[in-house]
């Protein structure tokens, strides 16, 4: 008795063979480098996401957005303004409000700047924001995050995601010991 389909009978095998044939034809007719540059999204999943608005160059900015870009450059002590801000520049009010909030939250405080960036990465992973994962990982590394710290953070994010799903699925009540102001009912886990 034979279980499943042979490669020849599988529709997925046919699709894969078709893709291989198209790729081989493209390499043969245009060269490997051209194919790799044209099809880079196949090699770099972070590039799958395409902007839904044009990313504005400095020459295309409104006067209001230009002032905010100048503040971004001054605050970060860099001429680089990333794509997130360039996308938001279509709406100077949202750009300004968001920049002011980010500037305030990420400013020096009780938490070290590296820790703030690592927290930003963890939340971005939880929300599936590829852009923020990459930009804040780069920023955390620039602020001194080591490969070991990154690996440990990723392990914590993965473990938290798993245990969050388990405790939610099980409907586990919060222990009184964890509450700021536990109820006065005479017993735990009522």
> Model confidence over 127-142: pLDDT tens digits?
999 999 999 999 999 9
Average pLDDT (102-131) is: 96
Residue 41's pLDDT band (cuts 50, 70, 90): very low
Give me 128's structure tokens. Answer: 């599936």
Write the DSSP assignment of 2-50 as a string of letters. --S--TTT-HHHHHHHHHHHHHHHHHHHH-HHHHHHHTHHHH-GGGS--
Q: Please state which of the four CATH numbers 3.40.190.290, 3.40.630.10, 1.20.1290.10, 1.10.600.10 is assigned to the domain occupying 111-170.
A: 1.20.1290.10
Q: What does the pLDDT read at residue 172?
A: 96
Residue 51's pLDDT band (cuts 50, 70, 90): confident
CATH 1.20.1290.10 in the chain, residue ranges: 53-105, 111-170
Distance CA(142)–CA(121), nearest Å, equals: 13
Q: What is the pLDDT of residues 56-74, one digit of tens each?
A: 999 999 999 999 999 999 9
Average pLDDT (10-29) is: 61
Average pLDDT (137-148) is: 98
From 129, 128, 119, 126, select the one nearest 149 (Cα to Cα): 119
Q: What is the pLDDT of residues 161-178, one digit of tens each?
A: 999 999 999 999 999 999
From 97, 96, 52, select the one nearest 70 (Cα to Cα): 96
Residue 183's pLDDT band (cuts 50, 70, 90): confident
* CATH number for region 53-105: 1.20.1290.10
pTM: 0.70
């Amino acid at each position: 008795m034979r279980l499943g389909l042979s490669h020849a009978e599988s529709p997925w095998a046919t699709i894969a063979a078709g893709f291989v044939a198209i790729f081989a034809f493209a390499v043969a007719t245009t060269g490997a480098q051209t194919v790799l540059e044209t099809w880079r999204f196949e090699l770099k999943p972070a590039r799958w996401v395409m902007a839904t608005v044009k990313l504005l160059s400095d020459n295309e900015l409104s006067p209001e957005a230009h002032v905010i870009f100048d503040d971004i450059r001054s605050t970060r002590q860099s001429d680089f303004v990333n794509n997130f801000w360039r996308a938001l520049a279509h709406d100077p009010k949202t750009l300004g409000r968001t920049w002011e909030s980010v500037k305030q939250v990420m400013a020096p405080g009780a938490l070290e700047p590296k820790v703030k960036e690592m927290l930003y990465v963890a939340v971005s992973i939880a929300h599936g924001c590829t852009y923020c994962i990459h930009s804040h990982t780069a920023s955390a590394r620039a602020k001194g995050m080591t490969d070991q710290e990154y690996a440990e953070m990723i392990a914590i994010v993965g473990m938290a995601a798993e245990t969050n799903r388990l405790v939610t699925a099980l409907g586990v009540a919060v222990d009184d010991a964890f509450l700021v102001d536990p109820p006065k009912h005479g017993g735990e886990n009522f």
